[in-house]
A and B are shown apart, each in its own frame.
Chain A
Amino acid sequence: MASLVLRNLVKTYDKTTVLHGISLEVEDGEFIVFVGPSGCGKSTTLRLIAGLEETTAGEVEIEGRVVNHLKPKERNIAMVFQNYAIYPHMTVRKNIGFGLRTSNLTKAEKMARLEDVASVLEMTELLDRKPSQLSGGQRQRVAIGRAMVRDPAVFLFDEPLSNLDAQLRTQMRLEIKKLHQRVGNTIIFVTHDQVEAMTLADRIVIMKDGHILQVGKPSDVYHRPANTFVAGFIGAPSMNMLQCTVDGGLARLASGPDIQLDIDVSQGRSVILGVRPDDLHPSGDNPFLKGTVTVREPLGPDTLIYVDTPSGEVIAKADGQHPPDIGETVQLSASRSRLHVFDAETGMSLDSNA
């Protein structure tokens, strides 16, 4: 059974519509990540699910029950906030136990559940500390603990890692993933970081301007982006986009050899050829781009090279130990199967498998 269903959700503030009919079905135990740039409506969607905002139109259904008119506490959800929102005047024990204040459990049951959560999060030693005595990562764990202790149908995470430093973020990301594997609850996670989205999600929901642009497994949205926005947003560095015109089934770049397209595109139509930097390498085999290296970014095993070509600047991946020099002319090639074709006007993918 789907644990969460969103049906045509619309949210309007005054005269501005920030969500234009969001629909999604989330299976029980699924880890869903909403990702998109600032202002795309991902946090608003989360707040509508939580009941912190009222929907203008549409339905939110949790565990088969429409919850639009229920208060947040009646929705069987728990939320972890970006700023953690753990109460500074309470100890860790009281913070975690706070979610059980209004439950019908006996005192002994509450204690047992609190101890259980503290042990899962490895916080038993810290239960009597105040938040000011905790590190950023520990505070985040307290916030997660407060959500876990209620054993909700759906966990909502609102950019919970964005305030942590890079190292801690990676560590907490792993912990959240392990936690999900252990407890198995449904998680809706909002982030603007596509790496977080890729690493955590069972399915990613990519949003822009209040619309869902694509929903799919991380590998799907990476390898088969539905449009240029998804193609550019997922993957770092972004996909290279090259303007082409179609001539007799061939994509013609500003210079260089024409590229045979496997898809049926009408004559003279403008298309965008997308190729990820990971798939574009300096090589002598069937190169289709030629240009001068302007910048090198060593990453260790690989080096990113920025190449100035007649079709614009592109990023390619070169060998980490022997990258081309700056100013050197290189020929770039990519496997045909790694090329993506988008309609230049609509931005939608023209790939047959997208």
Chain B
Amino acid sequence: MGSAVAQIRASSKTLLASGRPRTSASTGQVIRWLILFIGGVLMVMPIAYMISTSLKWPHEIYNLALVPNEPHLENYTYVLEDGRFYGWFVNSLVIATITTISNILFDSLVGYTLCKFRFPGRYIVFIAILSTLMIPTEMLVIPWYLMSQAFGWLDSYWGIMFPGLMTAFGTFLMKQFFETVPDDFIEAARIDGLNELAIWWTVAMPLVRPALAALAIFVFLGNWTAFIWPLIVTNSVDMYTLPVGLSSFGDEADVQWELIMTGAAISTIPTLVVFLIFQRFIIRGVVMAGLKG
């Protein structure tokens, strides 16, 4: 007994003496960190330059120094006092919000139907939806424009929003996530007397909250930053979205980069808010909590 205790003491002393093992980074690790560092810099630099330029005077904007010589907030005052900016901001906010809600509702409804109901032609419908992902947006712009013209949607919210109210990607994403919801949940709710729409809303939707959050972020950001289609479908300055409006700060003769960068810096705030709101929902595993322990 005594010798065993002594042995344990001796071995723990050895362990304590050795302390935290000193490891020198291997070449492979250094290369990995270097690649990650370069990746990080590449991601951060545009944002850093955007903020830096928004704090510069016009004569200083082609000076590549990250820290402005005479930093000031005049650009922010100018942009925020310019009435047009608020209008564009509201346009973008309304469009991105409605499109996000629409995608969450309809993509998930179609995804749920394709996933949880057995009906003839189910796979054909799904493949048809998926195949639309292969068509580039540029090819669709002219048909969309002609449609908008025919329906009188040019230069309106409806015209800007209609192509994105439902997406094939969102439908695909939601269908795949609904696959992870066990049929037992759906059947239990059916036995408990809920109709199919109520089952989708009260049982299935809360179980795919992480996917809904991811979809919300994708759709909101996609619509917030959309440029080509809003540029084409809008004519009046009042109907511009933020990216289109910001681009109007420049013309062929003179591009006011400091104002564009200021507007862009302000416009990142809602995207950050959306991300912070939804990212906490992106926690996997919630579905499993109601199943076997």
Contact = CB atoms under 8 A, between A and B. Distances in A.
Contacts of A99: 192-193
Interface in B134-159: none
Interface stretch (A80-88, A222-230, A264-272, A344-352): A80-88
Contact of B193 (A79, A101, A130, A136): A101
A83 to B, nearest CB: 5
B145 to A, nearest CB: 43
Nearest to B290: A88
Interface in B238-293: 286-293
A135 interface: yes
Nearest to A82: B184
B194 to A, nearest CB: 7
Contacts of B13: none
B203 interface: yes
A79 B182 CA distance: 15
A130 B184 contact: no
A191 to B, nearest CB: 15
Nearest to A135: B293
Interface residues of B, number: 23
A89 B177 CA distance: 16
Interface string B54-70: 00000000000000000
Interface in B178-200: 182, 184-185, 187-194
A72 interface: yes
Given A73-B193, A102-B192, A102-B194, A89 B207 contact: yes
A52 B190 contact: yes
A99 B286 CA distance: 22
A81 B193 contact: no
Given A85-B182, A87-B203, A79 B293 contact: no
Contacts of B185: 85, 87
A136 B292 contact: yes
Nearest to A73: B193
A101 B202 CA distance: 12
B71 interface: no
B206 interface: yes
Contacts of B182: 83, 85
A103 B194 CA distance: 11
A211 B245 CA distance: 73
Interface string A72-107: 110001110111111111000000001101110000
Contacts of A50: 187, 191
Interface in A24-63: 50-52
Given A78-B191, A146-B192, A83 B292 contact: yes
Contact of B194 (A88, A101, A130, A146): A101
A136 B291 CA distance: 9
A139 B293 contact: yes
Nearest to A150: B192
B289 A72 contact: no
Given A131-B289, A163-B293, A83 B184 contact: yes
Contacts of A150: 192
A52 B192 CA distance: 12
A132 interface: yes
A163 B287 CA distance: 17
B190 A88 contact: no
A80 to B, nearest CB: 9
Contacts of A73: 190-194
B188 A136 contact: no
A81 B190 contact: no
B290 A87 contact: yes
A73 B196 CA distance: 12
A79 B190 CA distance: 10
A215 B142 CA distance: 71
B187 A52 contact: yes
Given A52-B187, A79-B188, A85 B193 contact: no
A102 B193 contact: yes
Contacts of B203: 87
Interface in A111-160: 130-132, 134-136, 139, 146, 150
Contacts of A78: 191
Given A84-B292, A85-B187, A89-B207, A98 B286 contact: no
Contacts of B288: 88
B191 A88 contact: no
A261 to B, nearest CB: 49
A82 B286 CA distance: 19
B3 to A, nearest CB: 37
Interface string B116-130: 000000000000000
A248 B265 CA distance: 103
A51 B187 CA distance: 10
Contacts of B191: 50-52, 72-73, 77-79
Contacts of B286: 88-89
A86 B185 CA distance: 7
B289 to A, nearest CB: 4
Nearest to A142: B290
Nearest to B182: A83
Given A52-B187, A79-B191, A84-B292, 13 more contacts: A72-B190, A73-B190, A73-B194, A79-B188, A86-B290, A88-B207, A102-B193, A130-B289, A131-B290, A132-B289, A136-B292, A139-B290, A150-B192
Interface of A: 50-52, 71-73, 77-79, 81-89, 98-99, 101-103, 130-132, 134-136, 139, 146, 150, 163
Interface of B: 182, 184-185, 187-194, 203, 206-207, 209, 286-293
5 contacts: A52-B190, A77-B191, A78-B191, A101-B193, A134-B293
**CB-based closest 9 A-B pairs:** A136-B293, A73-B193, A88-B290, A88-B289, A163-B292, A102-B193, A132-B289, A85-B184, A85-B188
